[in-house]
Amino acid sequence: MNQHVVRDFPRIPADIVQQAADIQPAIFADVAGRRGALHGRIQALRPTMKFAGPAFTVEVRPGDNLMIHVALMLAKPGDVIVVDGKGDLSAALMGAIMINVCRERGFAGVVLDGAARDTLEIAEMEFPVFAAGSNPNGPTKNVPGRVGHPVSVGGVTVRPGDFICGDADGVVAIAREEMETLLPAARKKETDEAARIAAIRNGDTTAKWLDRALRTAGILAEGEML
């Protein structure tokens, strides 16, 4: 195949994925400086769906899924198929047949910046599919695209092999080189948030940072309290 198809690339290590899989995407978005969260239009077909793994990237022309079929043949178990469908919702890029292929080949999930179909059937499968919407129209299979190249999905650049995860809140992508550093920060934030919730449940509902933030914003004068 020509340069439009990259068959293999470095992936985030499997042990890092395993350690990160139980951490909420919201935590990663926070410790990554509130970067990496895909646009909220990309949502799980069922709120209980979640996934984590290395991105296997695909770029297609709106309404054409030819290159997704290429990706399904080249991706490895544990990969997440991440499709730049240009946000187009005029035709579904994937449906139950292709998602069954994904499940049988051991992929971790699918992210579509485009439409899906057969959504009730897919939801019952419990295979994680996140899409920008749905449409009963089927796609064409005629137009060249790219596989294994950086893509823009939900306004975020995702490179092949980057870490990507999703849950009921949405999807977050993190550069694979940053994950080893971000993991300890994510664990600390989890611990800090759990401690704060415990304190709230014990009656400590005061936001101790609020007065300082209001002074910085010019809402309170120096020395003034809320």
Q: Are 166 and 49 contacting, i.e. CB atoms less than 8 angstroms apart?
A: yes
Q: Would you mind telling me the total number of residues written for the chain in this entry?
A: 226
Nearest CA-CA partner of 127 in 97, 151, 153, 148: 97
Evaluate whether the domain defined by 14-176 bears CATH number 3.50.30.40.
yes
Sign of dihedral through CA atoms 168, 170, 175, 179?
Answer: negative
Which residues lie below 8 Å from residue 171, measured CB to CB, with a gap of 6+? 25, 37, 38, 42, 111, 130, 154, 164, 165
- How far apart CA 127 and CA 102 sit, in angstroms, is 9
pLDDT at 84: 98
pLDDT at 2: 74
pLDDT at 17: 97
- Give residue 60's Cα distance to chain centre: 18
What are the sequence ranges of the domains in the chain? 14-176
Give one DSSP letter per residue of 89-152, joined into a string: EEEEEE-HHHHHHHHHTT--EEEEEEEE--HHHHHHHT--EEEEEE-SPPPB-----EESS-EE
pLDDT at 1: 62
In degrees, to the nearest 5, what angle opens at C-alpha 213 toward C-alphas 36 and 197?
65
Per-residue pLDDT 10s for the chain (226 aa) are 678 999 999 999 999 999 999 999 999 999 999 999 999 999 999 999 999 999 999 999 999 999 999 999 999 999 999 999 999 999 999 999 999 999 999 999 999 999 999 999 999 998 999 999 999 999 999 999 999 999 999 999 999 999 999 999 999 999 999 998 999 999 999 999 999 999 999 999 999 899 899 999 999 888 888 8
Instruction: Give the β-pairing of 109-116 and 129-134.
Output: parallel
**How many of the other CB atoms lie within 10 Å of CB of 30?**
16
